[in-house]
A and B are shown apart, each in its own frame.
Chain A
Amino acid sequence: MEDQKFKSELEKWKKKLADHERKNPPLKKRFSTLSDMEVPLMCTPEEMKDFDYTRDLGFPGEFPYTRGVHTNMYRGKMWTMRQFSGFGTAEDTNQRYKILLERGQQGLSVAFDMPTLMGLDSDSPLSKGEVGKCGVAVDTLADMEVLFDGIPLGDITTSMTINSPAPVLLAMYVAVAEERGVSKDKIRGTLQNDILKEYIAQKEWIFPPKPSMRLVADTLEYCTKELPNWNTISISGYHIREAGATAVQELAFTLADGIAYVQAGVDRGLDVDEFAPRLSYFWDVHNDFFEEIAKFRAGRRMWAHIMRDRFKAKNPRSWMLRTHAQTAGVSLTAQQPLNNIARVTIQGLAAVLGGTNSLHTNSMDETLALPTEQAVMVALRTQQIIAEESGVSNVVDPLGGSYFVEWLTNKVEAEAYAYIKKIDELGGMMEAIDKGYPQSEIANAAYHFQRQLETKEKVMVGVNKHQVDESARSIDVLYIDRAVEERQVRKVEEIRKKRDKKKVEATLQELKRACEGSENTMPHILNCVKAYATVQEICDVMKKVFGSYRDPGMF
């Protein structure tokens, strides 16, 4: 009866709407999300016809985790405020870390410079001009010792954004902890270690995909056995999105990467429930508020099903998609940079309403340079205001049950599953990358969006609408001077002179032998770093065995 009444009322209202819009046409012909997904004017119980609460949402902390992975979410555990940072030398960054911890940040997140990401030393000719620019320069264990000087490694968690040379930097972290007497079960943190998204989007690679996946499996196995509280892979959508992917592509390609890593662990002979609980995710959080919230919710539900149904995982911790999030760097504008504070607030709020477990809020000046100290402070304060003033952390998944949010969550999920099916048909993510499939899908989406900006179908305030004359820009930026490079080059040269050369040679030889065979490389890499072998010396040895990867240069 109630249903009949609803239907007739809805029909009446639809007629009224049509009349209204004849006289007052909508401002645009088409309304779509940032990712250009068309959205209805509103959703009603009609879109919820097949909705089944226990199947689709469940309770917080329970399968399929749509509402969040913790039973009482932020009432019991606030998300970790983790600001990504690193610049100049280890000394410079160490100081910044101490300031961040003093200000109430709970975890560290290390940004390495480009040479480190590419497995190069600061004195390599290829590193010219790049040392300490986009992150901190680390060449040897000596730099890592300085980077974490005075920081209690047993009490904090550290996230390291490093991929191709991930085993080397992990080994350095373990070695520093060992020097300080911090036992392996006390070491907590996250290694990004997500090489697949490098080929797809971020493009900081060294070796071809196959040996790279072996190194991922090596770290997975090593950590599972030796570092029980370490998150082994941070499966990252962030870079995929920043490269131009839509929200759905970000979700789908990242989950497909996750599937490939779980398969690699299983193929290595590990029990899925032994290692899956230590996998975590990393989402981008962009401007389109509801699209982002839907993505976070759909992602948790999909991963729960993938892990339980596809991989037959039995441990509920294997089903949980725990995630870090970072506000979208690509959404920031160099024009009127203070406006970025507003963008970051909206994005941070979306991540929290989406149930993130950890968050980095970008600084307003990051399209211009690495952030200044003041800009970093505003960014951290933004999430503290969301956490402690806005009241949103009081309630679990407050948008659950919203007709529109549930409709959008379902839609994002269905479209992401269609991509995963396509990737499965191609033979999995490794094959798909080889065929250039995700790369070209992302390039197409990036081009489509740029065209929409040109026609003003999509708006960036201050860029293609509401511009002002900014011939005199009024914002201070952080400048890394060339002296950093000179200092770092001198430092690595000194270490090379001081260390025991025979020991370096011997450990590198042992590593080479391990690479040629099939044993786990991690213990050998650990020996190399303890002998103060450089990042490049270690990577070069592996390159000799594994070969290197070149950009196919498609556009």
Chain B
Amino acid sequence: MGTQPAMKKTSKIRVLIAKPGLDGHDRGAKVIARALRDAGFEVIYTGLHQTPEMIINAAIEEDVHVVGLSILSGAHNALVPEVIEGVKKAGADDVLFLVGGIIPDEDMEALKKCGVQMVFTPGASIDGVIDYIKTHVKERPVT
């Protein structure tokens, strides 16, 4: 065994994977939650059928760096802005917002305008998501 490289002291990246709305398609959310955990992130998964309010509360309580919203029912335009506004209003203004699911091209711009940094559509690779989070998450001072 060689010597361990000196670890840079940073807090673990905390990610909330959330399922807003009524759709029960949680295959993607679960796969990504597990992949992020395996990649060393701290992952909180809300479970299904969450209202925007429940997701906002979870994001604030868990003090997450990243909120990943998984939605496949077409209700994204109604639900995503509400979550982002709520989280920001509660004072967390450095959270990285990601959306995964079935999002028509026409809706991409509106989602980005309301604060979604990246939308991952079917076929996105896990490693792509991991890399994206690592390069875009906002550093926070270690407490």
Which segment, of B1-9, B40-48, B91-99, faces chain A? B40-48
Given contacts A117-B22, A134-B23, A450 and B75 within 8 Å (CB-CB): no
Check if A128 sits within 8 Å of B30, measured CB to CB: no
B10: A residues at CB distance < 8 A: none
As a 0/1 sequence over residues 452 to 471 of chain A, the CB contacts with chain B under 8 angstroms (1 = contact) are: 01100000101110000000
Check if B31 sits within 8 Å of A114, measured CB to CB: no
Instruction: List residues of B (1-45) whose CB comes within 8 Å of A's CBs.
Output: 17, 21-27, 29-31, 33-35, 37, 43, 45
Check if A203 sits within 8 Å of B24, measured CB to CB: yes
Q: Is residue B63 contacting chain A, with contact meaning CB distance below 8 A?
A: no
B29: A residues at CB distance < 8 A: 555
A128: B residues at CB distance < 8 A: 75, 78-79
Q: Bound complex: CA of A481 vs CA of B13, how far in Å?
A: 38
Given contacts A369-B102, A553-B47, A242 and B24 within 8 Å (CB-CB): no
Q: Which of B24, B43, B48, B104 contacts A479 (CB 8 A)?
A: B104
**23 pairs of residues in contact across A and B, judged by CB atoms under 8 Å:** A114-B22, A117-B22, A118-B22, A125-B51, A127-B22, A128-B78, A130-B73, A130-B78, A133-B73, A133-B75, A134-B74, A244-B27, A244-B31, A367-B102, A368-B104, A447-B34, A464-B125, A473-B105, A477-B104, A482-B78, A551-B26, A551-B48, A553-B45
List residues of A whose CB falls within 8 A of some B CB. 114-115, 117-118, 120, 125-130, 133-134, 198, 202-204, 242-244, 330, 333-335, 367-369, 443, 446-447, 450-451, 453-454, 460, 462-464, 473, 477, 479-480, 482, 550-553, 555
Q: Bound complex: CA of A140 vs CA of B25, how far in Å?
A: 26
Q: How many residues of B contact A (CB 8 A)?
A: 39
Instruction: Give the distance to chain B from A489, nearest Cβ to Cβ, in Å.
Output: 13
Q: Is residue B141 contacting chain A, with contact meaning CB distance below 8 A?
A: no
Instruction: Give the distance to chain B from A131, nearest Cβ to Cβ, in Å.
Output: 9
Check if A369 sits within 8 Å of B35, measured CB to CB: no
Q: Bound complex: CA of A479 vs CA of B107, how far in Å?
A: 11
Interface centre among B27, B121, B127 (most CB of A within 10 A): B27
Check if B73 sits within 8 Å of A369, measured CB to CB: no
Check if A553 sits within 8 Å of B35, measured CB to CB: no
A446: B residues at CB distance < 8 A: 27, 30-31
Instruction: Give the distance to chain B from A25, nearest Cβ to Cβ, in Å.
Output: 28
Q: Is residue B61 contacting chain A, with contact meaning CB distance below 8 A?
A: no
**Residue in chain A with minimal CB distance to B121:** A334
Check if B77 sits within 8 Å of A129, measured CB to CB: yes
